[in-house]
Each structure stands twice: as structure tokens, then as C-alpha cells.
Amino acid sequence: MMNKRWLVNVILFVAIALLAILLLVQPGIEKPAKKERISTIRDDEISRITIERNKAPTIVLERKGADNWVVAKPRSGRANPFMASGALRVMRAQSEQRLPEDASNNLDRYGLASPRGRVRFDDHILAFGDTNPVNNQQYVLLDMQVHMIDHRYFQAVSRNYTDFLSRQLIDPGRKPVRLALPNLSLRIVDGSWQVSPAQPTLTADRIKQLADDWQHAQALYVKPYEKSSIQNWVTLWFAPLEEGGKESTLRIGILSQAPDLVLYRPDEGLQYHFPQDLSSRLFTFDK
């Protein structure tokens, strides 16, 4: 009796094992091919990005160093690194479906004869057409090949040109060594930050924090200067960028401190909009 029960258990075990193998292998069903990128171009091979959209100014980004981009058109300025990276990611988009080669002979069908926008990566032109209502994927044309990609890639290049401008008030790499604020002045003396008029209860670290807040201030958004009256000025002095160099200075206009903090950089012709609570951190030691 025990031998018979043991034999039944063995048969059941073998049957389950065979079924598991069958489910894993699934004979007659091919595994889907790995998705490929629409382009094999590497990010570091791209030096210029031109974004063209209907009824919008052309935006041109130019590489100035390994990871440094600037906006060249419609006006010059420092580029928002996040937005520049987003534009580069478009060329790394996965092709959800590669259409037959003759699809490029019928571009009207995919909204690519008059595309919604074009992005030029140096000499390579990527055109954005219609979005397929069934799968919400967008038709694109690159080097005479039509692909379908996630429609969200178009969002990365369909923003206003001001979104491509850096929101960081102070250029990365510039380190303040002295600040002249309306009611305070700060400077480094013998390696430590000091404030004038003197405030004995403040530590050097607390004074340094205010200088750091200026160095890393990040605006909510940026737009061209609207010719508003300047209430006051802030001047910053920066350490030399190289040994033996000279200190550099930057004047920043105060356009408003309430309801929002708005600062103006005349050298860029741009005004930077910050939340109101940043005003107390940049101009006082209250926080």
C-alpha cells in the first residue's frame, strides 16, 4: 500500500515538473524581441539641438563643454541642465514599433507631412506626427524611418523657451567671498564669514549659510526683464576661477520682495521669481 502511494506521489511530482517546464518554454510562441532605440547616436556626439514648433520661436541649445549647455536662440542665456537632458533623452527613445520602410512614402497618414514639431540633433532631424488614439503612441520620422514612441517624449521639447533657461540665480562654480545687501554686508575674513554691522550672537556657520543660500538660490521660473522699477541693489564678489585670477562681481536688482521675491540680472536681461519665504533667508538672519 505504501509503495503504491509512493509511486503515485512520484508520478504527480514528475507531471508537475513537466508542466512547469512547458509553461516556461512555451513551444511555438516566440519571445518578444528586445526594444531598440530609434537612434544609436550617443549624447556626447550631439553638440547642437534645434527645436522647431508651429507658432513658437525656434529654440537652439549649444553644448559648451561636457555637460554644459547654453541657450543660443531666441535669446542667449544659461541653459537649464534638466531641460537640456530631457531634450537629449528624446534620441534615446525606445521604438515601440518600427513601421515598414515604405511608410515614409505616405507621411500624410501619420501626420508627418506637416509635423507638429521638429528637433534637429546636429544634422539628424526628428519629426513628430500624430498620436495613435488606440495605444497613445506618437508617430515620429527619423532618417526616413517611421517609428512609434511614447507620446511623452514630445512634451520634453514642447515647452516655452523660458523653460530652457537656467533657474539658478548664480552660475555654477562661482563662489561668493563678499556680499553687499541693503542692510547687511558679509565677507570672508581669515577663512571665516563675518557680518557688518556686527551681530555677536551669530556664528560663522550661520553667516555662511546666508551666503550659501545666495549661491544656490533656485527660482520657480525665469522670464525676460519687464522694465519694472528697481527697489535696491545687491552686489556679490566671487573668488577667482583660476589661480592668479581676479575677483569678479555681479550686481543684482531687487524688483520685489512681496508677494513674491523677484530679482533681476542686468547682464542677462532676465528676472528670477522666487517664493516669498526665500526673501527672509536671503536678506536677514530671521530664519
Grid cell listed for 115: 509635423
DSSP state of 85: H
Q: Are 95 and 37 in contact (CB under 8 A)?
A: yes
Grid cell listed for 22: 512547458
What are the pLDDT digits (tens) for 77-125? 999 999 999 999 999 999 999 999 899 899 999 999 999 999 999 999 9
CA distance 186 to 180: 7
* Intervals of the chain under pLDDT 70: 1-34, 287
DSSP state of 102: G
What's the pLDDT at 98? 92
What's the pLDDT at 32? 42
Q: What is the sign of the dihedral through the CA atoms of 146, 152, 158 and 164?
A: negative
For residue 49, which amino acid is it? I
What's the pLDDT at 5? 58
Grid cell listed for 239: 573668488
Q: What is the CATH number of domain 176-283?
A: 2.60.40
Domain boundaries in the chain?
A: 43-164, 176-283
Adjacent-strand bridge partners of 194: 187
Return phi, psi of residue 193, to 5°: -80, 135
